[in-house]
Amino acid sequence: MRAWVVEQPGPVAHSRPLRLVERAAPLPGPGEVRVTVRACGVCRTDLHLAEGDLPPRRPGTVPGHEIVGEVDALGPGVTRLALGDRIGIAWLRGTCGACRWCRSGRENLCAATRFTGWDTDGGFAEQAVVDEAFAYRLPETVDDVHAAPLLCAGIVGYRALKRAGLPPGGRLGIYGFGASAHLVAQVAVAQGATVHVLTRSAEAQRLALALGAASAAGADDEPPEKLDAAVLFAPVGTLVPVALRALDRGGVLSIAGIHLSDVPSLNYARELFEEREVRSVTANTRADGEEFLRLAAALGVRATVDARPFDQADAALQDLAADRVTGAAVLELGR
C-alpha cells in the first residue's frame, strides 16, 4: 500500500518532512479491524507532528487521525463490527481501561493513552487498523469527505466547548477559525449562543459570518460585548491574555490545542481576577465522540472542506501551515 510517513520532522515551508512510500498492508490483531481508507482529514496536530512540535514517538509514523474507511479485514475475536461496515477512526485509539481515570469516565487522562497517527500509524495511507472498541459508526447522511473532519476537529472541539462552560444563550468568543472552530461555531449557534469570532484571516471571518456568527474581527481585537466563555483554537500563546481580558466576570477560557506557543505573564487584576478561569483540553473520551456525532447529525452540522488528492498530502500540510485552508483539508482516496 502507499503511505505518507514523517521521515525527518522539520518546517514544512522549508523542508519535506513527509515522504510517500510503499509499505506492506497492516494486519489486524486481536480485537482489531482493518479499513480501506476512503478519506482522511488533515489536522493541525498532523502539522505539529511533521514539524516536530510534537516529538515523534516512533520513526516513520504515518500521520492522520480523521479516518473514514470500510472494514476489509477482521482480527481474532472481533464481534462488534463486520466486513463492509463504514467506520471512523479518531485521535484516541487506546487506554488501559483499569486506572482511576478510566474507571471514572475520564479515559482521556489515562497515562497509557495511545493516539492514532502518533503512537500508531494513521490514515495518510491506503489502509489502517484500529481496535474495534475505539471505532465510531458514522451518520449515513454524511458522505466520507465531510465526515472525516468530525472525527477530531469536531470531537475535540466539542470537548473544548463543553470545558468552556458556556451557559444557555450565552456569549461565546472563538479565537482562530479553522477546521475545529467552524464546526464548534455551528453547534453553539444552533444551541442559541451568540458567537463572536476573532481570527486574522479575512476569508475565515467571512465563513464565520456565513455560519451565523454575530461578529467576526481580528484576533487581537475586542469583541463587541463581554464574553461568558471563550475557546482558543489558534496555537498562539499570546492570545491567552487577550481572550482573558475579553471575558466577563466568572468567564472561562478553554484552550483546545495539543500544542501552544509560550504564554506571556498574566496580570492578575486585568486577566484573572473576578473568578476568570483558564482550562486546558486533553484529547477526548469516546463518550464525547458518540455525543458529538449524534448532535452533529441532529443539528445539521456540516464541515466546509477543501478536498485534496491523496498524493498531495505534503502540499496540504504546507497550505495549512500558511493559513491557505478555509475550513478543513481532507485527503480523498475514493472507493
Tens of pLDDT, residues 161-201? 999 999 999 999 999 999 999 999 999 999 999 999 999 99
Residue 335 pLDDT > 90 = no
Average pLDDT of 130-140? 97
For the chain, the helix, strand and coil percentages under 3-state DSSP, each to the nearest 5: 30, 25, 45
Name the β-bridge partners of 280: 255
Q: Which of 150, 147, 173, 146 is nearest to 161 (CA)?
A: 173
Q: Sign of the CA dihedral 284, 290, 296, 298?
A: negative
What's the rounded mean pLDDT across residues 260-289? 97
pLDDT tens digits, 62-93:
999 999 999 999 999 999 999 999 999 999 99
The confidence score (pLDDT) of residue 110 equals: 98
Q: Are strands 227-232 and 171-175 parallel, antiparallel or unpaired?
A: parallel
Section 205-227 average pLDDT: 98
CB burial of 234-249 (b: ≥16 within 10 Å; e: otherwise) equals bbbeebbbbbbebbee
What predicted TM-score, i.e. pTM, was given to this entire model?
0.94
The answer to whether domain 2-151+304-332 and domain 155-280 are alike in fold is: no
pLDDT of residue 14: 86
Q: Which CATH code, of 3.40.50.1220, 3.40.50.2300, 3.40.50.720, 3.40.50.150, is assigned to 155-280?
A: 3.40.50.720
Query: Above 60 in pLDDT, residue 99?
Result: yes
Give residue 48's pLDDT.
Answer: 94
pLDDT at 226: 98
Q: How far apart are CA 73 and CA 64, in angstroms?
A: 20
Amino acid 56: pLDDT: 86
Give per-residue pLDDT as tens, 191-207.
999 999 999 999 999 99
pLDDT score at 116: 98
Extract the runs of DSSP E, i.e. beta strands, from the chain. Answer: 2-6, 18-22, 32-42, 67-74, 86-89, 92-94, 114-115, 127-131, 135-137, 171-175, 194-198, 215-217, 227-232, 247-255, 277-280, 305-309, 328-332
CB 197 within 8 A of CB 216: yes
What pLDDT, on a 0 to 100 scale, did the predictor assign at position 280? 98
- Top-level class of domain 2-151+304-332: alpha beta
Question: What's the burial of 116, exposed, middle or buried (CB within 10 Å: 0-12/13-18/19+)?
Answer: buried
Is 80 exceeded by the pLDDT of residue 334? no
- The mean of the pLDDT values for the chain is 97
The pLDDT, as a whole number, for residue 60 is 95
* Nearest in space to 9 (alpha carbons), one of 64, 63, 78: 63
What pLDDT digit, counting tens, does each position of 16-63 carry? 899 999 999 999 999 999 999 999 999 999 999 999 999 889 899 999
Buried/exposed 46-64: b ≥16 CB within 10 Å, e otherwise = bbbbbbebbebeeeebbbb
**Per-residue b/e over 126-145, b at no fewer than 16 CB within 10 Å?**
bbbbbbbebbbebeeebebb
* Domain parsing of the chain, residue ranges: 2-151+304-332, 155-280
Could you tell me the three cell numbers for 332?
Answer: 480523498
Please give the pLDDT value at position 89.
98
For 11, list phi and psi in degrees, rounded to 5: -60, 125
Between CA 106 and CA 327 the distance in angstroms is 29
Helices 179-190, 153-163: inter-axial angle, 10-degree rounding: 60
* Range name among 45-49, 54-58, 284-288, 317-321 with the lowest pLDDT average: 54-58
